[in-house]
Chains A and B, each alone.
Chain A
Amino acid sequence: MLKSREELDAELGGAARAWLDEALAEAAHDAEAAHDAPRPGASPYASPPWELRYAAAGRRCGPEHADSVRSLLLVAARATLPSVTRLYEQGTAAERRAVLLTLHRLDLGPTALPLVEDALRANDTRLVAAAVGPYAADHLDPHAWRHAVLKCLFTEVPVAAIARLGERARGDAELARMLGDFAAERTAAGRTVPEDLRTVLGHARRTPTGPTTPGAAPGGVARTAPAGADAHRATPTPAPAAPAPTEES
């Protein structure tokens, strides 16, 4: 979870707190300036000072606070689309994560969706998990959102990471169909159906206004998948031995 400035101040040591004060002041200063105007004579690779601080946040404030500190920097700088795009594209996986976790706190409207879409194409589960937060819940169109849910199931990102899952999945017959087909495919391959799939399917089978309608699954769900899923619940197959849950590339 992202921590507030006050929470961080309570947890950080003196040197880290002083560093954070300076970094946030630099970011705020940059927010005042028209920082996306090209600087005359500047190298195309030069970055504003606070963006270099963004990279060093984990070393200065501790890796456990890196997401929170980076997020505060983005907010303090009132980071614009060019800025978040640059930080994402030029960032390590951890720096990209912090951009994704902060998008909904910036005044970007749907313009930063390409970053979320990029992260959802990744096989790095840290990025996938960060991409399905509140910003995705607000702005992903139904097709892309359903694929994001499926991607989480494929890559074993817990669906608990998906913001407003119940609300967006509720009564989504197309999502229910996709989940059913996925379950059938897993069953056919002799693999277990992820527990999380049943969770999402539960949401998708609810009617848009009411609770679950037993035995009246919308779409084509009733065809094969729940049967396959239930059958596998009775006789679970062992988890795959391979440590890599990433999707085939």
Chain B
Amino acid sequence: MRIFDPHIHMTSRTTDDYRAMYEAGVRALVEPSFWLGQPRTSPASFFDYFDALLGWEPFRASQYGIAHHCTLALNPKEANDPRCTPVLDALPRYLEKDGVVAVGEIGYDSMTPAEDHALAAQLQLAADHQLPALVHTPHRDKLAGLHRTIDVVRESNLPPEFVLLDHLNETTVEAAADSGCWAGFSIYPDTKMDEDRMVAILQNHGTEKMIVNSAADWGRSDPLKTRKVADAMLKAGFTEDDVDQVLWRNPVAFYGQSGRLQLDVAAPDPLHEGNSILRGGE
């Protein structure tokens, strides 16, 4: 079984997680830039973070046989902080980098005018750089937030098939699917969304344009949720091919629109002696 986790914050995870993910079948992932828990006070600390998502973290992932890509953006929360908004001016340079497969996470947190501006500006940046966009839907006032998000996407220059609406659930899946965007579901160990509810959604809405992620980060979360959804799908009667579509082909098709996915990473050392990535001496 091959798994692509399209939304996971590896910066917050340990090497044990990388190992366990590889063993569970994860061969590729996308790490969106996001809020670090502690507010940042200047653009420079964003740049160091972006640089890590383009430098150190892909190297770390490659040692465990996992292809690492990222999405970069000013996140919705910090879009409200005037100390951070100059990040928007530096994004054009970052969005040209090879490892960047989308603009994200963008979207709404509290639905403020500053968030309106950052969302619209960054959808335009995605269009300018021919990149898809990963759009977070708010945790509070979710359905209203989703409708407002879809309106802003419609007004943008980005076609809906270039947009992944994330953190959906039973109450928002319908509107998201009708919008023509891709539908993302974050599976958490608590009540937000679990693997059995995910399977029920797939039974009701099909497997097309459906994307499942662990969204694991520094909070209570589980980097193996993608595999657990795959197992729950098989148990519920879905075929191996259905599982491959949801957990590999769909995210590859979505982020592949960037033209920048590189999925050929050598297996890690214990499995594959003489791995050239570890040696680094080409």
Write the residues of chain A forming the contact surface with B, with a CB cutoff of 8 angstroms.
43, 45, 47, 52, 55-56, 58-59, 63, 66, 90, 92-96, 123-126, 128-129, 155-158, 160-161, 239, 241-246
**CB pair A158 B64 closer than 8 Å:** no
Which chain B residues in 16-70 approach chain A with CB under 8 Å? 47, 51, 54-56, 58-60, 63-64
Q: Which of B80-95 contact A (CB under 8 A)?
A: 86, 89-90, 92-93
Q: Name A129's contact: one of B15, B51, B281 (CB within 8 Å).
A: B281
Closest chain-A Cβ to B74's Cβ sits at a distance in Å of 13
Which residues of chain B are near A66, meaning CB under 8 Å?
Answer: 98
- B residues contacting A by CB (< 8 A) are 15, 47, 51, 54-56, 58-60, 63-64, 86, 89-90, 92-93, 96-99, 259-260, 262, 268-270, 275, 278-282
Q: How many A-B residue pairs have CB under 8 A?
A: 81
Q: Would you call A129 and B280 a contact (CB within 8 A)?
A: yes
Which residue of A has the minimal Cβ distance to B98?
A58
Residue of B nearest to A92 (CB): B54
Q: Give the docked Cα–Cα distance between A245 and B276 (Å).
A: 12
Question: A194: shortest Cβ distance to chain B, in Å?
Answer: 12
The main secondary structure of chain B at its interface with chain A is loop
Contact at A55–B279, with CB atoms within 8 Å? no
Pair B281/A124 contact, Cβ less than 8 Å: no
Known: A43-B89, A126-B280, A241-B270. A55 touches B97 (CB 8 A): yes
Query: How far, in Å, is B272 (CB) from chain A's closest CB?
Result: 9
Q: What's the nearest-Cβ distance from chain A to residue B77, in Å?
A: 22
Cα–Cα, bound, A27→B215 (Å): 41
Bound Cα distance A41, B92 (Å): 17
Quick one: closest B residue to A244, CB to CB?
B63
- Tell me which residues across on chain B come within 8 A of A90, comparing CB atoms: 47, 51, 93
Q: Which of B55, B262, B280 is in CB contact (< 8 Å) with A92? A: B55
List 19 A-B pairs, Cβ < 8 Å.
A43-B89, A45-B86, A52-B93, A55-B96, A63-B98, A92-B51, A92-B97, A92-B98, A93-B55, A125-B278, A125-B280, A126-B59, A129-B281, A239-B269, A241-B269, A243-B63, A243-B275, A243-B278, A244-B15
Is the pair B281, A45 in contact by a Cβ cutoff of 8 Å? Answer: no
